[in-house]
Amino acid sequence: MSRTTSISAALFLTPSDYDLYLQWQEAEGTSEEHLGYVSYAVEYHDFTIWRATGWPCLQEHSTARSKYVQGKQRVASRCLHTLHLASFIETEWCPVCEVNICLEFLEALVQAYEKVGRQMRESKLENEYEQLVRKHKAIRMGWRMARLELIEVVRYHEELATCEMEWDLHYDDLDTDDSHSSSFAVTLAVLETRHPADIVSQEELAMMHSDRTPKKKPQATKKVRFATQLETTRSPRHEDTFDRSNKQYQPGKWACPIAEGWQDTSFYMSDLHNLQQFKVFITSIEDPDDVDMSKGDEGPAGLHPFWPQIEFIWERSMKNANRAQYKQLIKKMDESEAVVAFVDNNGNVADMAFAGRPKDTEWKPEIPPPSDMAWTSLQMHL
Ligand SMILES: [Zn+2]
Ligand SMILES: [Zn+2]
C-alpha cells in the first residue's frame, strides 16, 4: 500500500470549521494544491490554536530558538516547557508537546472515524451507505498517515531517552524538572494512543458477554535498566564540550549527526520536505542562465519521476558543503520557489539549481525568473 501523504480536512472537520481551516491556510500562505488538506499533525494543531486564540501562527514560528533559563535547563521556544538537562537541541516544542500534537490529531481522526461508523450503521439508503464506506476508508488512511508520523516522533525520542538516562545516572542528586523529557513523551505515546474502532455501547457489550464480567488487567510495573554492554563509567561531558557552538565541543556517543545539532521531527521546516513542494523544471541546457522557463513547470518536485535523483543531488550537495556553503544553499533555497533539474544525454539528472523571485520585484508564479541561477553541485564541487 502506498503511503497517504495528506487527508482532506473536510473528512474530519465540521463544515464551518472546514471553512475556517481554508481561511487559516490562506492566511498562512498555503500553496493552492494543499488548500483543504492536512499532512502533518502540527498543521491541525496550529489551526486549532488559531481558531481558539486568533493568533497568526507564523508569528510564533519566527522565534524558533530555545533559550537558557535557570542555569542549565533550557525551554522549548513555543510551548516554553523546561527541557531535560540532556537536551541541547533547538526545539519549538518539548518532547511531551510534540507527542501531544500528534495525539490530538489522531484523536480528531478517531472521533470522525467513529462518527462515520455510527452513520453507516444507521444508514438505510444504499447510495448513502456506499458514500459513507468510502469516507470511512479515507479517514482510516488519514489516521494511518498520522500514526506513522507519531511513530517517527516516538522513535526519535526513544533515542533521546537513552541519552537522558545517561544524564540522570550521573546527576542523580540534581533537582531538575524532568516532567517534559523524551522518556515521558515516549510513555505518553504508548499510553494514550487510541485505535479507531467501531465502538459498541456498554449495553451491547453486556449482552454479548453476559456470562463474563470484564476484569481489570493488573498494571505491570515498569523499571528502566541499562543494557549490560552500555558504557556507564564514562563521566558526563562538561558543559563546554556538549555545547555545539563552543570550540571545546566533542560530540557524544548519541550526538545528532547533523551539523546543526537538531532535527525537526515535525518536518514543518525540513528542507527536504520544502524541496518536495517546489515546482520542477526540466532542462537539457548546460548553462543555467540560458534556461527558458516560460514553458511551464512539471508539477511539484516530490511527485516528479526525477525526484529520487533530485533528492540524491541535494543530499550530496548538502553533505559535501562546508558550513558557509551550506548556509548559502539554504539561503538560496529560502529565496526560491522552483527547482530546475539539468538532465544529461543519458537521461539522468546531473545537477539542479534553484529559481525564484529576485528581491524587490513582483513574483509571477507562472514564470520564475532565473535570479542569478547556478547549478548546485557543479558550481561548488566540480
Ligand atoms: Zn503555525
Ligand atoms: Zn511543551
pLDDT digit string (tens) for 82-111? Answer: 888 777 777 888 999 999 999 999 999 999
The Å distance, Cα 315 to ligand 2 centre, comes to 31
CA distance 277 to 242: 35
- Determine the distance separating the centroid of ligand 1 and the alpha carbon of 170, expressed in angstroms: 38
Comparing CA positions, the residue from 299, 278, 282 lying closest to residue 349 is 282
Q: d(Cα 7, Cα 21) in Å, to the nearest integer? A: 13
- Which ligand neighbours the alpha carbon of 181 most closely? 2
172 and 90 Cβ atoms separated by less than 8 Å: no
Which of 182-191, 213-222, 247-256, 346-355 shows the lowest per-residue confidence on average (mean pLDDT)?
213-222
Q: What is the mean pLDDT of residues 160-178?
A: 77
Q: How does pLDDT run across 360-377, given as a tens digit for each residue?
A: 444 444 445 555 666 676
Block residue for cell numbers 473536510: 10
How remote is the CA of residue 183 from the centroid of ligand 2, in Å?
Answer: 13
Which has more confidence, 80 or 208?
80
Q: Compute the distance between CA of residue 166 and CA of residue 160 in angstroms, rounded to an integer.
A: 10
Kindly tell me if the per-residue pLDDT of 260 is higher than 70. Answer: no
CA 254 to ligand 2 centroid distance, Å: 23
**Each residue of 123-168: pLDDT tens digit?**
888 899 999 999 999 999 999 899 889 988 988 888 888 888 887 7
CB within 8 Å of 115: residues ≥ 6 apart = none
Q: How far is the CA of 233 from the centre of ligand 1 (A)?
A: 43
Q: How many Å lie between the centroid of ligand 1 and the Cα of residue 99?
A: 16
Residues linked to residue 281 through DSSP beta bridges, in sequence order: 340
What is the residue-wise DSSP string for 149-216? Answer: HHHHHHHHHHHHHHHHHHHHHH-TTS----TTSHHHHHHHHHHH------PPPHHHHHHHTTT-PPPP
**Are the CB atoms for 87 and 166 separated by under 8 Å?**
no
Strand-strand pairing, 336-343 and 279-283:
parallel
- The average confidence (pLDDT) of the chain is 76
Helix (H/G/I), strand (E/B), else coil: 94? coil
Runs of H (alpha helix) within 196-297: 202-208, 239-242, 271-277
On whether the CB atoms of residues 351 and 375 are closer than 8 A, the answer is yes
Residues 6+ apart with CB under 8 A from 103: 150, 188, 189, 192, 193
Pairwise CA distance, residues 32 & 79, whole Å: 30
- In the block, residue with C-alpha cell 468510502: 134
pLDDT at 247: 72
Among all bound ligands, the one having the nearest atom to the CA of 50 is 1
Residues pairing with 349 in the sheet: 343
Q: Give the pLDDT band (50/70/90) at residue 315.
A: confident
Strands 67-68 and 74-75, by their bridges, are: antiparallel
Asked if 220 contacts 135 with a C-beta cutoff of 8 angstroms, the reply is no
- Pairwise CA distance, residues 250 & 231, whole Å: 17
> Which ligand lies nearest to the CA atom of residue 41 in the structure?
1
Question: All 3 cell numbers of residue 301?
Answer: 518536485
Q: Tell me what ipTM this predicted complex has.
A: 0.66
pLDDT attached to residue 339: 87
Ligand 2 midpoint to CA 73 (Å): 14
Residue 214 has pLDDT above 80, yes or no: no
Starting from the CA of residue 185, give the closest ligand.
2
Ligand nearest to the CA of 40: 1
Query: How far does the centroid of ligand 2 lie from the alpha carbon of residue 75, in Å?
Result: 8
Q: How far is the CA of 308 from the centre of ligand 1 (A)?
A: 29
**Cross-strand bridge partners of residue 355:** 338
Least distant ligand from the CA of 266 = 1
Q: Which residues surround ligand 1, an ion (CB under 5 A)?
A: 46, 57
Residue type, 321: A
Centre of ligand 1 to C-alpha 33, Å, is 18
**CA 301 / ligand 1 centre spacing (Å):** 24
- Residue 72 CA to ligand 2 center (angstroms) comes to 17
- Between the alpha carbon of residue 175 and those of residues 34, 158, 160, 164, 171, the distances in Å are 46, 23, 20, 14, 9
The arithmetic mean of pLDDT across residues 163-192, rounded, is 80
Cα of 42 vs centre of ligand 1, distance in Å, is 8
Ligand nearest to the CA of 25: 1
Instruction: Compute the distance from residue 27 Cα to the ligand 1 centre, in Å.
Output: 11
Tens digits of per-residue pLDDT, 51-82?
888 765 544 444 434 444 445 578 888 888 88
Distance CA 273, CA 152 (A): 15
